[in-house]
């Protein structure tokens, strides 16, 4: 199966998955294949203001049967996180209003979300931006377009560790 999505900055992006998700996850380095069942139990919050970006990240996660909720602002994310539990949060760095860096700092200061795995994504990649994101409290950093294989592998490592 090939799932095509229109992505950031008008560039085409494809999530290419051939066959069964069980077999795909077994191909990822460091994975013994036992995580596919637990991935079905994950609930990931995606904080992304661009609908195309939401669709791409949700499409990657949905392929592996991960439950996904999406919001467009950091403020909406804080409201949802106040009342619901998630296994991780994927956050775009450039959001309207409160940006992703401020959001992750806010999450790290709150006792109930301080240890929540946070994944940064951005279309404005530089080594300085990556370092700033990691210094602010993100656990993992990805530039757009997101490499779906690396994204799932690192998310799996982060949540299951």
Q: What is the pLDDT of residues 62-83, one digit of tens each?
A: 999 999 999 999 999 999 999 9
Helices (H) and strands (E) in the chain, counts: 7, 7
d(CA 19, CA 21): 7
Q: What is the pLDDT of residues 11-50, one digit of tens each?
A: 344 444 444 444 444 444 444 455 555 888 999 999 999 9
What is the SS3 assignment for 47?
A: strand
Q: Note if the bond before 43 is cis, omega within 30 degrees.
A: no
pLDDT band at 1 (very low <50, low <70, confident <90, very high): very low
Q: Considering only 29-38, 55-64, 106-115, which range has the smallest mean pLDDT? A: 29-38
Domain tally, the chain: 1
> What does pTM read for this prediction?
0.79
Which residue range is the domain that position 100 belongs to?
2-160
∠ CA 151-45-63 to the nearest 5 degrees?
50
């Amino acid at each position: 199966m090939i799932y095509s999505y229109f992505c950031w900055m008008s560039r085409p992006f494809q999530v290419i998955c051939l066959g069964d998700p069980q077999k795909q996850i077994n191909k990822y380095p460091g994975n013994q294949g036992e995580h596919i069942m637990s991935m079905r139990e994950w609930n990931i919050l995606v904080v992304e203001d661009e609908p195309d970006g939401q669709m791409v990240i949700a499409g990657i996660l949905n392929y592996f049967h991960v439950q996904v909720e999406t919001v467009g602002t950091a403020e909406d994310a804080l409201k949802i996180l106040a009342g619901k539990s998630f296994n991780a949060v994927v956050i775009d760095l450039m959001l309207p209003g409160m940006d992703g860096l401020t959001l992750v700092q806010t999450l790290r200061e709150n006792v109930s979300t301080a240890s929540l795995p946070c994944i940064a994504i951005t279309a404005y990649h530089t080594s300085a931006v990556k370092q700033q994101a990691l210094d602010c409290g993100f656990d993992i950093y990805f530039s757009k377009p997101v490499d779906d294989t690396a994204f799932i592998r690192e998310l799996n490592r982060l949540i299951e560790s």
